[in-house]
């Protein structure tokens, strides 16, 4: 029994310290590390369920694939590496240390003779003299030499590059050190507490203050890495740690307040810097520190490092004007909103929840077409490295919101505050999409000469107003027909057509007209009919604008190109309204921006251990790879000299050096003999 354990222990020791095992471990660790780069780590669990389905989701969860680098099996591999390296050092240390000191002067003559690298020379010199000159030579070559008297002559034992061995210690103990440092910064303590039931991951979406103590970590927690978002003018005394499918709340030993968050931009619109002015207060509310942090410039306080990590909207207040898109009037209603908050909206079309999701003060858009290749030298060379940024433009603020109906269905909208120029005309844009992975489709509302959408809205109201239709139709018919035809049957027919076209359009835009034509008109005549209807619609719409202006006590619209475009754009935009998906349009009138800064807070006591280990690793690797360990022996007897050389690593440099020493020996033996004569 005892011998069996002893035997087992010994073979484990053998295995762990074997080079082949080390090579396997390095390779296995490399392969294992790939897993976490292929599968995105630490995503919300719902994403994985969608990706893999419920069955595989569970299998992968059991395997720890969503957080590979903290999974038990991965840590086991690392543990083996540390164990193997430690055992390896333990095994080699005594030998190597001895070797570093030793000159191996006890080497026997037979073994020298058995060396692969040996060289013999005859000499007439007395051994002492040759030994002295050889020693001088070797010392000049950077060797440490020990000269020994032997019964029938001399032995020189020389060594160089002992630091190679030192390098071995440094590099390999550095590996152990770095792993330990990493472990100190890992979440082992929490894992243990979790297994023992002292701590639990919070998965509910509840206010921070309501998170129970079992999911909170104390300010004295030796290591953590969490993040928190603070709006300007607010403060936080906790950080959130994302773990598995939930989070933990880390109580901080101080309070961080954000005074201001700033973004600077390059002239091209790309972000140039992110900075936060922060203040730290202790628990009693006394200010302890004030600093500006930026990317690459963290603040370290109380061993906690505070980093600029991200930014977001911190609850910008929005003043909006709501338009009822399908009302025959142009009455508007005011709405106040705050980003990240919800409002309910009661409208004729039902009740909605308005969820304000974001506000962006800048939007840099590419407004240009393709640049043509000019075919000159520059294009042969791939073009100028100075990029052409003429097409990039800041198109101003925009805000995003979701409109959720009573059934819980939501569409997402993105409205610009300022008009955009497209094809030479100006529009106010509102984007809509059904799901986050679609891109926005835009409703373009034309501006009038005053730079507002009022004319568009007025005309839209008039076109939707059934009561106005007879008057519009009448005016249209009079305009369209020569005076002789007034009052005739033709006029009645035309009035009827116009009323019909207007009614169809008000019901569903061009789409309804299209359906009607398809139903009623034989195929051969459809194109012609469509052209006629369109013409009627445009002319009738122009009349509608006249009426609308008159009712609003405004001067009649000019019969010019601009009005023509206004009418056409209004018709297009109205037609799009039917697929816009919301009965209201929210126009941004004013905003009061509040930014939020995303901070990361870390405490990592293992960092210095890791850095120190890294320093040792670097030194060790250089010593091992660039200090060549080698030994030379010169055994001198009267009339005969033998040079032998050895090294742990046989490289071409070693061979060259051996040849050099051998030649040197020849020279020395001859030289001394000639000078002795």
Partner 1 sequence: MELALNQPAPLLKRLSWFDWLFAAIVATGALFALSRFGDYMDIYEKAILLAVIPSLAVFGWFWKPFRPLFLVVGAISLFAFSQYQGNLARMEEAFFLKYLISSQAAIMWMCALFGLATLAYWAGLLARSDFMLKSGSTLTWSAVAMGFIGLMVRWYESYLIGADVGHIPVSNLYEVFVLFCLITAMMYLYYEARYQARQMGAFVLLVISAAVGFILWYTFDRGAHEIQPLVPALKSWWMKLHVPANFVGYGAFSIAAMLGGAYLLASRGILASRLPKLEVLDDVMYKTIAVGFAFFTIATILGAMWAAEAWGGYWSWDPKETWALIVWLNYAAWLHIRLVKGLRGPMLAWWAVVGLFVTTFAFIGVNILLSGLHSYGTL
Stretch that binds partner 1, among 152-160, 422-430, 433-441, 622-630 (CB under 8 A): 622-630
- What part of residues 384-443 is at the interface with partner 1 (CB under 8 A)? 384-387
Please, which residue, 227 or 500, has the CB nearer to partner 1?
A: 227
Long-range contacts of 574-579 (CB under 8 A, 24+ apart): 574/460, 574/463, 574/505, 574/509, 575/505, 575/509, 575/510, 575/511, 576/443, 576/444, 576/509, 577/325, 577/326, 577/443, 577/460, 577/509, 578/508, 578/509, 578/511
Burial of 571 (0-12, 13-18, 19+ CB in 10 A): buried
- Long-range contact list for 20-28, CB < 8 A, 24+ apart? 21/84, 22/84, 22/85, 22/88, 25/77, 25/80, 25/81, 25/84, 26/81, 28/77
The 3 state secondary structure assigned to 343-378 is: EEEEECCEEEEEEEEEEECCCEEECCCCCCCCCCHH
Cβ nearer to ligand HEM, comparing 48 with 623: 623
Q: Which residues bind ligand HEM (CB under 6 A)?
A: 17, 19, 22, 26, 84-85, 88, 92, 168, 171-172, 175, 621, 624-625, 648
Residue 372 touches which of partner 1, ligand HEM, none (Cβ within 5-8 Å per kind): none
Of the listed pieces 3-11, 49-57, 261-269, 510-518, which binds partner 1 according to CB under 8 A? 261-269
Which residues in 160-199 contact partner 1 (CB under 8 A)? 182, 185
Nearer to ligand HEM, 71 or 175 (CB): 175
Stretch that binds partner 1, among 362-370, 411-419, 447-455, 613-621 (CB under 8 A): 613-621
By the rule CB under 8 A, 600 interacts with partner 1: yes
User: Is position 22 an interface residue for partner 1 (rule: CB under 8 A)?
Assistant: yes
Of 132, 621, 640, 673, the one binding partner 1 (CB under 8 A) is 621
* Near partner 1 in 48-107, by CB under 8 A: 68-69
- The rounded distance, in Å, linking the Cα atoms of 514 and 508 is 10
Task: Give the helix ranges, DSSP H, for 313-446.
Answer: 377-380
617 binds partner 1 (CB under 8 A): yes
33 binds partner 1 (CB under 8 A): yes
- Interaction of residue 144 with partner 1, rule CB under 8 A: no
Residue 553 contacts residue 511 (beta carbons within 8 Å): no
Interface with partner 1 (CB under 8 A), residue total: 75
Kindly tell me which of 84 and 669 has the beta carbon lying closer to ligand HEM: 84
Report d(CA 245, CA 223) in Å as an integer: 20
User: By CB under 8 A, is residue 651 in contact with partner 1?
Assistant: yes
Of these partners, ligand HEM, partner 1, none, which one is at the site of residue 668 (CB under 5 to 8 Å by kind)?
Answer: partner 1
| Separation CA 95–CA 168 (nearest Å) | 12
Contacts of residue 98, defined as CB under 8 A and 6 or more positions apart, other chains included, come to: none
Among 378, 449, 562, 589, binds partner 1 (CB under 8 A): 378
Q: Which is nearer to partner 1, 151 or 376 (CB)?
A: 376
How many angstroms separate the Cα of 597 from the Cα of each of 80, 257, 339?
Answer: 42, 10, 15
Q: In this complex, which beta carbon is closest to ligand HEM, that of residue 194 or of residue 614?
A: 614
Q: Out of 2, 3, 5, 37, which residue is the one contacting partner 1 (CB under 8 A)?
A: 37
Q: According to CB under 8 A, which one of 1, 2, 4, 38 is a site residue for partner 1? A: 38
Question: Could you tell which of partner 1, ligand HEM, none binds residue 602, using a CB distance below 5 to 8 A set by kind?
Answer: partner 1
Q: Which of 604, 646, 647, 669 binds partner 1 (CB under 8 A)?
A: 604
Residues sharing a CB contact under 8 Å with residue 247, sequence separation 6 or more, in sequence order: 201, 202, 203, 215, 240, 241
Cα separation, 100 vs 618, in Å, equals 20
Nearer to partner 1, 92 or 255 (CB): 92
């Amino acid at each position: 029994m005892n011998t069996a354990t002893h035997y087992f222990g010994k073979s484990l020791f053998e295995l762990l310290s074997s080079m082949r095992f080390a090579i396997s471990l390095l390779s296995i660790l490399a392969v294992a590390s790939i897993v976490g780069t292929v599968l995105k780590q630490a995503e919300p669990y719902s994403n994985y369920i969608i990706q893999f389905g419920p069955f595989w989701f569970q299998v992968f969860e059991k395997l720890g694939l969503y957080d590979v680098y903290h999974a038990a099996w991965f840590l086991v591999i690392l543990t083996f590496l540390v164990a193997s390296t430690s055992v390896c050092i333990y095994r080699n240390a005594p030998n190597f240390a001895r070797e570093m000191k030793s000159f191996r002067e006890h080497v026997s003559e037979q073994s020298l003779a058995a060396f692969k690298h040996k060289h013999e020379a005859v000499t007439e010199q007395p051994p002492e003299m040759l030994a002295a000159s050889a020693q001088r030579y070797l010392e000049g070559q950077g060797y440490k030499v020990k000269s020994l008297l032997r019964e029938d002559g001399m032995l020189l034992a020389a060594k160089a590059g002992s630091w190679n061995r030192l390098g071995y210690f440094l590099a390999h103990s550095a590996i152990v050190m770095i792993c330990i440092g990493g472990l100190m910064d890992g979440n082992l303590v929490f894992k243990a507490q979790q297994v023992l039931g002292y701590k639990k991951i919070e998965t509910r979406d509840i206010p921070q203050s309501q998170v129970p103590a079992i999911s909170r970590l104390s300010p004295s927690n030796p290591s953590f890495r969490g993040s928190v978002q603070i709006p300007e003018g607010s403060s936080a005394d906790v950080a959130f740690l994302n773990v598995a499918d939930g989070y933990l709340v880390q109580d901080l030993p101080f309070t961080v307040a954000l005074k201001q968050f700033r973004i600077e931009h390059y002239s091209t619109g790309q972000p140039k810097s992110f900075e936060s002015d922060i203040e730290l207060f202790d628990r009693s509310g006394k200010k302890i520190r004030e600093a500006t942090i930026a990317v690459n410039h963290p603040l370290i306080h109380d061993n906690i490092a505070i980093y600029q990590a991200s930014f977001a909207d911190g609850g910008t207040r929005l003043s909006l004007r709501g338009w009822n898109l399908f009302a025959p009037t142009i009455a508007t209603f005011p709405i106040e909103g705050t980003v990240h908050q919800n409002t309910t909206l009661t409208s004729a079309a039902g009740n909605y929840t308005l969820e304000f999701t974001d506000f962006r003060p800048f939007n840099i858009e590419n407004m240009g077409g393709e640049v043509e290749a000019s075919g000159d030298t520059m294009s042969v060379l791939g073009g100028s490295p100075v990029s052409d940024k003429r097409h990039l433009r800041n198109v101003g603020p925009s805000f995003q919101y979701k409109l959720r109906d009573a059934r819980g269905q939501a569409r997402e909208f993105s409205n610009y505050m300022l008009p955009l120029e497209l094809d030479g005309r100006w529009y106010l844009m509102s984007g809509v999409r059904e799901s986050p992975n679609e891109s926005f489709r835009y409703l373009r509302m034309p501006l009038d000469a005053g730079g507002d959408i009022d004319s568009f809205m007025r005309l839209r109201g008039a076109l939707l107003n059934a009561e106005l239709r007879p008057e519009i139709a009448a005016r249209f018919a009079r305009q369209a027909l020569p005076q002789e035809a007034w009052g005739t049957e033709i006029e009645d027919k035309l009035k009827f057509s116009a009323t019909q076209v207007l009614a169809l359009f008000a019901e569903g835009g061009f789409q309804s007209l299209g359906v009607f034509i398809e139903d009623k008109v034989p195929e051969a005549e459809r194109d012609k009919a469509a052209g006629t209807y369109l013409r009627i619609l445009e002319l009738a719409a122009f009349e509608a604008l006249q009426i609308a202006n008159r009712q609003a006590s405004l001067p009649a619209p000019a019969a010019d190109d601009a009005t023509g475009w206004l009418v056409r754009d209004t018709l297009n935009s109205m037609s799009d309204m039917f697929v816009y998906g919301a009965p209201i349009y929210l126009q941004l009138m004013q905003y009061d921006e509040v930014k939020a800064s995303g901070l990361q807070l870390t405490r990592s006591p293992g960092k210095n251990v890791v850095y120190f280990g890294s320093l040792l690793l670097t030194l060790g690797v250089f010593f091992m790879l660039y200090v060549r360990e080698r030994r030379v022996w010169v055994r001198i007897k009267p009339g005969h000299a033998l040079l032998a050389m050895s090294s742990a690593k046989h490289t071409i440099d070693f061979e060259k050096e051996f040849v050099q020493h051998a030649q040197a020996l020849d020279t020395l033996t001859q030289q001394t003999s000639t000078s002795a004569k």
